[in-house]
Structure 1
Amino acid sequence: MALSPMMQQYKEIKGTYQDCLLMFRLGDFYELFFEDAEIASRELELTLTGRACGLKERAPMCGVPFHAADNYISRLVKKGYKVAICEQMEDPATAKGIVKRDVIRVVTPGTLDFDQGSSRNLFIASLEISGGKAYIAYSDVSTGELYALETDCGSKDDSLGSELAKIAPGEIILTGKTKEKLNEILDRDGRSYYFNVVDDSYYRKSTGERVIKEHFSVGSLLPLGIEGRNGLISAIGALLMYLTDTQKQDPSQITELVLNDPKGHMILDRATVRNLELLETLYDKNVNGSLLGVLDRTKTAMGGRLLRRYVLEPLTDPDEIDRRLDGVQDLVDDEDVLDVVISSLRKIYDFERLSARVSSGRANAKDLIALKVTLQALPDLHQSLATCRSEVLKDIDQKLGDFSGLADAIERAVVDDPPFVITDGGIIKDGYDEELDGLKESIADAKAWIAGLETTEKERTGIKTLKVGYNKVFGYYIDVSKAASANVPDDYIRKQTLVNNERYITPELKEKEGLVLSAEAKINALEYSIFSRLRDEIKPYIPGLQRASSAVGALDVLASFAQVSISGGFVRPEVNAGKAIRITEGRHPAVEKMIGREMFVANDTEMDQEGQSMLMITGPNMSGKSTYMRQTAVIVLMAQMGCFVPAKEAEIGVVDRVFTRIGASDNLAYGQSTFFVEMSELANILRNATDRSLIILDEIGRGTSTFDGLSIAWATVEYLCRDDLRIRTMFATHYHELTVLDRKYPCIRNLSVDVSENGSDIVFLHRIREGAASKSYGIHVAKIAGIPYQVRRGAQAKLRELEAGEAAGKGTGISSEQISIFDAVGDQEPEIRYAPNPYEQVIDSLRAVNVNDITPMKALNIIDSLQNQVRDIDTEYDEDRGGEL
């Protein structure tokens, strides 16, 4: 048996888009057939039905309403599928034979633009690798942004991986050869990307040059800044070609090419973004608790997206940084202006994406209303910025432009609350178009007659349950329950029989229906034509609208910085070309927000590449070493973003890169141990750090034996302290042996975290002081963590034994992993070796009292301290052992 004509049409179109799920428009639904239907029904949890197709067996089928398709398409694409949207290309009511259909768009993971108002960009990237360089072009089709950059790449260089991690593209297009090179270059860290391998022809330099010139309407690539840069030309050209192929039209929303120069921004690798929790927290992957969560007071989607970019791309030019800081200062100094700015920003929709939808011809009437409301809010921003003195705010004010005429045009034409569907009428206001008004008047009497028909017929027939209704299949009808059907007049003509009702028409109703439906079809067609014309009239404004939306985003970020600076008590940093970092009473903004400013212990930081470039920090775990180091790095990043910082004073000599090696992590999926990951990250730091960098190292060498780890840490310190390098470094360690290196290297400054000891009571003060720590208090931390008492007693006994050996000059003679509080003999159960009498510590404290220095008050304090120690021992023993001593 042959396929039906409609299914033959489906099969023919599907053959061209075999790698896509084909959504085939049938009336008010997009239908999927055969294997596509089975996939969609499973992924979308839709009912799988069937349709006669001319074969013996029915074709599997499922579908979604066309007016709600965006959500379903988005869900499929986010699961990694490509979706081809096949639309009816002619009106089914006037078509002869099978309605013509064609694919109007292919939606891929990198071109999904249904998520309006999102504060995150969705980029699609094009990648070319050649001669040790990687060339990346990337675009957000929903906003019209297009960027390009080139970076170094190689098996021992993480720049490419860091750039891709920062861009976080939803899709990467590239050739098969480039894909092979990329696999060799990128660290296998588990990060997954959606790759779309395209034909080599996309990356021909001659083709790319032609495509770029045509798109930007230029005769030379010189004005775009890419003349002679063949790698960039290939990457940009391939991306524009791919977007044209998938969107089935020129991506006209892309009006500008921005070249990203990594030299103008701080480079942050993946480890640093993760370890400093810039975008999300380490463990629960939550924005709250991250630096972004602290800084984000933005009110618009444009501001949210731009803030994320600022966090990932701090500036390195002191003049540009000061320019931003001047803008923040203006808003901090005049809170009345700031309040007006915030109030105006709240009224602004995502008109960066609205402009792109208008340009691509996909904007509906609600989009235009949102654009109108946005444009009407701009004059208030103009007025509020008039008194600002900073260059950056004056530039923003100038870019906002004047769109009052465009806002008025939309106001006159489009109703305030239009429907989503732009082909069903109800969009254009009365009085806007004479022809449209005439058509509406021509059926006004007929519509009024139909509207009053239900009341009239109830009175005439006496049937109280009678109703007048309408649907697209049967038109207008009179609905009567079967119980009352015997009472219908003779002029009622049965139209449809339902289970409990009968539906009728009358000759007069049929006449009015014909008049109304004929006129309404003309009205809807005319309204759609008027709307399309209005949408096209907006297109010349697109470049100006995009400039204005970018300016609003920048203003939103500066206002966000001003708000957090005021509420957090932040100060303006001095950022200069020097190499010193001096912070007075610095605080970690995220930790402070979590525990409260009054509870946070502020600390100073002072380091200079010319003087003391390395801070060697010792002290117990949980005492605040990691927070102290992270807050220094975060303050540097905030300053170079152009934000005020949580400190009393701050001077920041510009940093080109921040490197961090913090915490323990592994990558078991690729056979990479914790220690291997640690050494890989350290290798990346030592290879790529410059004398302008800031390095944060926490517990280097702890993943291997004591002597191995100590040797690696020792050599790392010496490498970073070389006279020809001297990189600004914060180095936290439990290897107290390293603290003697300050005698050999004057650039090392020993710091430690202050601890208060009162007998057995130990309090971490979180205050940084000069000098090295004498011990690590690991057993005390074990107590806090809940390690059983008998284990801690055994550990304390072994610790005393080892310390006694060291004091006698014997040394331990064993590595840390050979030290155990358990001794197993043969197959016997391990025997726990307990410390001596647990009250011995109390007795020792008593023996240490100098009786010649006793006063009544001191005696009372000593007795109170001894009682507390005894009480702690009794309590711990009872809890952990459940018996008596």
Structure 2
Amino acid sequence: DNDAKILSKELQIALTSKEMGKGNKVPLAGIPYHAINNYLPKLINNGYRVAICEQTSDPKDSKGIVDRSVVRVVTAGTVTEDNLIDKNLNNFLMCLVADNKSAGLAYIDITTCEFFTTELPLEYLHAEISRINPKEILVSNKSLLNPQNKSPFVIQEDSSIIPYLESAEHILKTHFEVKSLEPFGCSKLHLSIRASAGIISYVQKNQPLSIPNITNLKTFSTNSFMTLDSQTINNLELFKAGRSESKNYSLFNILNFTQTPMGSRLLRNWISQPLLDIKEISQRADSITEFKNHPETFKKISSHLENISDLERLITKVNSGTANPRDLISISSSLEQITHIKTILKKSNISKLKWLESPIKTHLKTIGLINSAINIDSSTLVGNGKTIQKGFSKNLDSLIELSQNSQISIANLENKEKENSGIKSLKIGFNRVFGYYIEISKSNLSQIPEGYIRKQTLTGAERFITEELKKLEDEILTAKEKIEIIENEIFQKICHQISLSINSIIISANTIAIVDVISSLTIAAQENNYIRPNISNNLNTEVIDSRHPVVEKILSKNDYIPNDIKIGNPENKINVLTGPNMAGKSTYLRQIGLINLMAQMGSFVPASSAEISLVDRIFTRVGLQDDLSIGQSTFMVEMVETATILNNATSKSLILLDEIGRGTSTYDGLAIAQSVVEFIHNHPKLQSKTIFATHYHEMIDVADKLENANNLHVTVEENFGNIIFLRKIDQGGAGKSYGIHVADLAGIPKDIIDRARKLLNEFENSTATKINPESSKQLSLIPSKNQEIKQLLSSINIDEITPLEALTILDDLKGKIID
């Protein structure tokens, strides 16, 4: 009963009812079966599980009601329909199992055969969930995920989903047909085993056709790559920009020149998993260098990449029995392009590209099978006699020929009957109800020959059959039925033959995805004038003329001001950055994090030279935000995030903090800001590379007193009270703040600005106030008359001016005072 009501509400369709027994009305709601793909996304995205029921028996063989059963259950993490998934994103289903200290995590994309598992400390769990970004999570207890938070994924809470260890081991061994889990690397990871088995059980229950696609399980360690928490992913705007959430102004968009969906998905993975192994980083950077140094080879490879389809998803469709003829043609065409790329890489004889060429297979057998069997002009339907090429099956060819000649036979029979009967308007037609028939108008009924059998009476005509027509109809319809059966059988056999090569095709597809990402990063480096960074385990990072990769694309070509980055030496492990609001402090912080991240993912970076110190994590606390869904204020969120950073950072981490303490009173905020800097500086397990941007000018003195701290400021040019933000980072602390000027520029009403200036002067001049005049000193963007007069007087050299000039100046001053 509730299903119909839910369907009506969610899809905005009519709710009707039908009487089932006396006085018992059952609510009904429905949609046309052919419109399911239009409505299904609405239900799935709202967290519903949708059961798909299909006819499972042939009506010809059934007595009474035709058999029907639920063939699959569509959930957010088990969707396979092309129109329901983004081709550039993975659609991950995740399962979590945890104890008091650790969590076992497994996730799968059933459309690409990717299946991974790991175990990690509980404190790293949420960062890993954020990185993977699953569409659906299976848990035995929602409390593991802080359910009071609004989650971007669907959570299925069901303890029966996740088996205990002994049962979990049996499920995995049975599925993979092995006696030990050691080859998968998870034999001693009990939580991972349970999570992985939970995935298999859930897919088996809801999407059984996808089970054959799960041919491998990869165990990984989070220690092999940099962990990025959700705050850092959002603050660095890796995949979408801040408040606007625009994908156009993200690092991914700037670097994404991929030409295949596989490459696009892998690029997201590389961005969210910066490497910690310098050898692996260098391997990627070496490949970009070689592509840049061999433009002809690179150009040839790019020309083939653009013609490659989504092999990862196509081959899984073949293996699960849901592929159509056009999918097979795309597979063949893509494998041909891959073969060309392998040949190009091999002929180039570039040793540093060997790792890209070696895993790629030629797949000549699969290509030959598809090209010899499938018509290139095939539709998505099988069974109409247009899928299998002529010559591939003699039996099918003869049936198709019979079917095609039947139209000629029908035409010949029609001419014969016209001649025998003398009825020139006689015609032979066909419909699905009565089959073939001879139609004669009522005015010619007197001329009907013997042997005509009446079949149907119409208003102006009657329809008949003859023994000869019936015999011909049987031959034609039998041929069509046989064509449908035989063509489907042949197609299924071809799919089965292709599926035997699924593992090697997936390996080739995965490698091509890497080639595509390397190609994308090469184009990004060329178009954006990036350079190759030198990465080491040294503590020092020095980047000359660094640029923010996204902001520089928004501004005009010559408007962006590059800045140097020097951090990590004993004298500048911690940098306190002061300067006006809107001057570029936050941009500078983000560009430091982005350049480090880009370097560790193997990319070139926006700078003229770069020595990059490998970091184990990048922590960011940038921007104001609150979380009303769990009752946290701006300041509370700020403190929670700061605590997380301080509790998880190490001496090899990069910490980027912006305006810590601004969410509370001045002295509370200043005390917290100073304490945080001192803690990072003094704690033996921290002393992390840190940029601490602040509007508290008292922090300049703090940095001066700490041995490993340094002051930086954003330069401002003052010209007769007019302020120009130069966007340049320089040594030393900023002398003044410009909060009122920013308010003025933002469009705050003039009355408020004037009142603020008056109050500021009172605060600065009052001896009663507790505010330090030097630390809160403001400069007017539009200077007061006293300031103008003071500046004018200061500029006069009394020994050099003439009496006439002195009188002129005095008259000018008098005018200003009167005004």
Residue number in structure 1 paired with 2:30 = 62
Residue number in structure 2 paired with 1:167 = 132
Q: Does 1:97 align with 2:57?
A: no
Residue number in structure 2 paired with 1:209 = 169
Task: Name the CA shift for 1:392/1:226 in 2 (closer, same or farther; >3 Å).
Answer: farther
Residue number in structure 2 paired with 1:777 = 738
Q: Which runs of 5+ in 2 are unaligned?
A: none
Q: Does 1:350 align with 2:314?
A: no
Give 1:543-622 correspondences, 5 Å limit: 543-608=503-568, 610-622=570-582
Match of 1:219 among 163, 169, 179: 179
Counterpart-to-counterpart distance in 2, 1:147 and 1:511: 60
| Deviation for aligned residue 1:450 | 4.5
Match of 2:475 among 503, 515, 524: 515
AA of the residue aligned to 1:130: D
Match of 1:148 among 107, 117, 128: 117
Q: Is the 2:290–2:352 Cα contact (8 Å) retained in structure 1? A: no
- 1:189-212 CA-to-partner distances (Å, cap 9, x unmatched) read 433432223344732111111121
Residue number in structure 1 paired with 2:341 = 381
Q: Does 1:813 align with 2:754?
A: no
Counterpart-to-counterpart distance in 2, 1:284 and 1:456: 75
| Deviation for aligned residue 1:451 | 7.0
Q: Is the 2:92–2:109 Cα contact (8 Å) retained in structure 1? A: yes
Comparing 57-66 with 410-419, greater Cα deviation is found at: 57-66
| Deviation for aligned residue 1:168 | 1.7
AA of the residue aligned to 2:108: S
Q: Is the 2:704–2:711 Cα contact (8 Å) retained in structure 1? A: no
Counterpart-to-counterpart distance in 1, 2:505 and 2:663: 55
Task: Name the CA shift for 1:201/1:773 in 2 (closer, same or farther; >3 Å).
Answer: closer
Counterpart-to-counterpart distance in 2, 1:320 and 1:579: 20
Residue number in structure 2 paired with 1:291 = 251
Give 1:649-660 correspondences, 5 Å limit: 649-660=609-620
- 1:453-499 CA-to-partner distances (Å, cap 9, x unmatched) read 99999999777xx998755445457899xxx976799659674869x
Task: Name the CA shift for 1:713/1:53 in 2 (closer, same or farther; >3 Å).
Answer: same
Residue number in structure 2 paired with 1:751 = 712
Q: Is the 2:238–2:271 Cα contact (8 Å) retained in structure 1? A: yes
AA of the residue aligned to 1:121: N
Q: Is the 1:701–1:713 Cα contact (8 Å) retained in structure 2? A: yes
Counterpart-to-counterpart distance in 2, 1:709 and 1:51: 66
Match of 2:760 among 799, 802, 805: 799
Q: Is the 2:52–2:71 Cα contact (8 Å) retained in structure 1? A: yes
Comparing 418-427 with 308-317, greater Cα deviation is found at: 418-427
Counterpart-to-counterpart distance in 1, 2:264 and 2:455: 60
Q: Is the 1:664–1:674 Cα contact (8 Å) retained in structure 2? A: yes
- 1:233-252 CA-to-partner distances (Å, cap 9, x unmatched) read 11111211221122235712
Q: Is the 1:494–1:502 Cα contact (8 Å) retained in structure 2? A: no
Task: Name the CA shift for 1:503/1:79 in 2 (closer, same or farther; >3 Å).
Answer: farther
Comparing 437-446 with 784-793, greater Cα deviation is found at: 437-446
Q: Does 1:711 align with 2:671?
A: yes
Counterpart-to-counterpart distance in 2, 1:616 and 1:123: 41
Q: Report the identity percentage.
A: 36
AA of the residue aligned to 1:812: T
SS of the residue aligned with 1:721? helix
| Deviation for aligned residue 1:75 | 3.9
AA of the residue aligned to 2:61: T
User: TM-score, normalising length from structure 1?
Assistant: 0.83
| Deviation for aligned residue 1:53 | 7.4
SS of the residue aligned with 2:508? helix
Q: Is the 1:572–1:643 Cα contact (8 Å) retained in structure 2? A: yes
Give 1:130-149 correspondences, 5 Å limit: 130-149=99-118
Residue number in structure 2 paired with 1:307 = 267
Residue number in structure 2 paired with 1:28 = none
Match of 2:228 among 268, 277, 281: 268
Q: Which runs of 5+ in 1 are unaligned?
A: 1-33, 822-833, 874-883
Match of 2:729 among 768, 784, 792: 768
Residue number in structure 1 paired with 2:142 = 179
Residue number in structure 1 paired with 2:77 = 110
Counterpart-to-counterpart distance in 1, 2:654 and 2:373: 58
Residue number in structure 1 paired with 2:199 = 239
Counterpart-to-counterpart distance in 1, 2:554 and 2:415: 65
Residue number in structure 2 paired with 1:25 = none
SS of the residue aligned with 1:617? strand
AA of the residue aligned to 2:70: V
Counterpart-to-counterpart distance in 2, 1:387 and 1:471: 61
Q: Does 1:123 align with 2:80?
A: no
- 1:816-847 CA-to-partner distances (Å, cap 9, x unmatched) read 9xx9x9xxxxxxxxxxxx99995444333322
Task: Name the CA shift for 1:400/1:852 in 2 (closer, same or farther; >3 Å).
Answer: farther
SS of the residue aligned with 1:597? coil
AA of the residue aligned to 1:845: Q
Counterpart-to-counterpart distance in 2, 1:755 and 1:468: 92
Counterpart-to-counterpart distance in 1, 2:200 and 2:120: 21
Q: Is the 2:4–2:27 Cα contact (8 Å) retained in structure 1? A: no
Q: Is the 2:257–2:523 Cα contact (8 Å) retained in structure 1? A: yes
| Paired residues, number | 797
Match of 2:45 among 63, 78, 94: 78
AA of the residue aligned to 1:799: L
Counterpart-to-counterpart distance in 1, 2:268 and 2:758: 52
Counterpart-to-counterpart distance in 2, 1:364 and 1:44: 30
| Deviation for aligned residue 1:288 | 0.5
Task: Name the CA shift for 1:502/1:672 in 2 (closer, same or farther; >3 Å).
Answer: farther
Task: Name the CA shift for 1:61/1:780 in 2 (closer, same or farther; >3 Å).
Answer: closer
AA of the residue aligned to 1:87: E
Residue number in structure 2 paired with 1:677 = 637
Residue number in structure 1 paired with 2:378 = 418
Counterpart-to-counterpart distance in 2, 1:370 and 1:269: 38
Comparing 52-61 with 292-301, greater Cα deviation is found at: 52-61
User: TM-score, normalising length from structure 2?
Assistant: 0.90
Counterpart-to-counterpart distance in 2, 1:48 and 1:504: 43
